[in-house]
A and B are shown apart, each in its own frame.
Chain A
Amino acid sequence: MSTAAFIVIAILTLAGALAAASLSKLIHAAFCLVVAFVGIAAFYFLLGAEFVGLVQVFIYVGAVAVLIVFTILLTRRADENTGGFNWGGVVIAIAVFSGLIWAILQTPALSIAAPQIEALTVKRIGEVLMTDYVWPLQCVGLLLTAALIGGLILVMEEKR
């Protein structure tokens, strides 16, 4: 893990996230969200979880971002105001952030360097997924099916 790569990825991710949260144009915010998600995937690669980084790129950048862009285009109106802003949320977010910072910096056990690990292969992930985590895997399959059916029913035309 190199420090320079960490700093570059951190700046990229946080700038993308901040732009996604604060830009007034929805479509620009969606593309900034993509930048933030790619940055998080780069963090996963940096941390040695290559498979999770790939999954992050496939699902978030490939599927969720495209879904968000489609929804923006389907619900767009020329006269709509998207810039509404509530300053109470900013106060709450800053309060939560300072609380988290305080808690993290108060804990000396967290300032450890990364230990050497053997690389986590996709073969090992597949083995664990098919042995120890087979019930959660089935439950996720059921949940995805339910979400698919629910999403279809929600957007079906209402018959009158």
Chain B
Amino acid sequence: MPTLTLFLLISAALFCIGLLAALSRRHAIFILIGIEMMLAAANLNFIAFWRFGPQPQSPTGVMVAIFSIAIAAAEAAVGLALVIAVYRHYRTTSVDKFDQLKG
């Protein structure tokens, strides 16, 4: 039987893989992929804590996860629209090239 610790370890690993993608890749879409992965890891934590919580339970964790998924979808749509808008302007999606505001 998997315990709560195992689920938390899995979601910690997933979060850190997302962090790695967001921090170390130089391509805008990879950064978005990393952010999506971190959000999914947080949702997994919500559901795990809800499942292992005290009884009788109200579906709070499930509700938070559903709202979080909706907000993540909105974030992905706006983020990818931003990538397309920036690509139109600079003709590249590498974040190192977006240095117009650099002093």
Q: Which residues of A contact B (CB under 8 A)?
A: 1, 3, 6, 10, 13-14, 17-18, 20-21, 26, 29-30, 33, 36-37, 40, 43-44, 47-49, 51-52, 55-56, 59-60, 63-64, 67-68, 70-72, 74-75, 77, 80-82, 84-90, 92-94, 96-97, 100-101, 104-105, 110-115, 117, 120, 124-125, 128-129, 132-133, 136, 140, 143-144, 146-148, 150-152, 154-155
Give which listed residue, B14, B34, B65, contacts A49 with CB less than 8 A. Answer: B65
Chain A, Cβ-Cβ closest to B61: A49
Q: Which of A13, A63, A111 has the most CB of B within 10 A?
A: A13
Name the 8 nearest CB pairs between A and B, nearest first.
Answer: A89-B24, A89-B23, A84-B26, A147-B74, A21-B21, A93-B20, A97-B16, A100-B12
Q: Does B55 contact A (CB under 8 A)?
A: yes
B12 and A114 within 8 A (CB): no
Could you say which residues of chain B place their CB within 8 Å of the CB of A151? 77-78, 80-81
> Cα distance A55–B71 when bound, in Å?
13
Q: Is the CB of A97 within 8 A of B12?
A: yes
- CA A55 to CA B29, docked complex, whole Å: 23
Q: Are B12 and A85 in contact (CB under 8 A)?
A: no
In the bound complex, do residue A26 and residue B16 qualify as a contact, i.e. CB atoms below 8 Å apart?
no
Digit string of B26-66 for contact with A (CB within 8 Å is 1, else 0)?
11011011101100100110011011100101110111011
Contact A29 B47 (CB under 8 A): no
Across the interface, B84 reaches (CB within 8 A) one of A1, A74, A114, A136, namely A74
User: A71 contacts B29, CB within 8 Å?
Assistant: yes
Query: How far is B28's CA from A126's CA once the two chains are assembled, in angstroms?
Result: 37
Number of interface residues of B (CB under 8 A): 73
Q: Roughly how many angstroms separate A20 CA and B41 CA in the complex, as a whole number?
A: 15
Interchain CB contact under 8 A, A67 and B80: yes
Q: Do B10 and A10 touch across chains, with their CB atoms under 8 A apart?
A: yes
Residues of B close to A144: CB separation below 8 A: 70, 73-74
Q: With A43-B7, A94-B16 in contact, is A49–B50 under 8 Å at CB?
A: yes
Contact in complex: B14, A44 (CB < 8 Å): no
Instruction: Assess the A110–B4 pair: CB atoms within 8 A.
Output: yes
Of the candidates A43, A80, A100, which one forms a contact with B93 in the assembled complex, judged by CB atoms under 8 Å apart?
Answer: A80
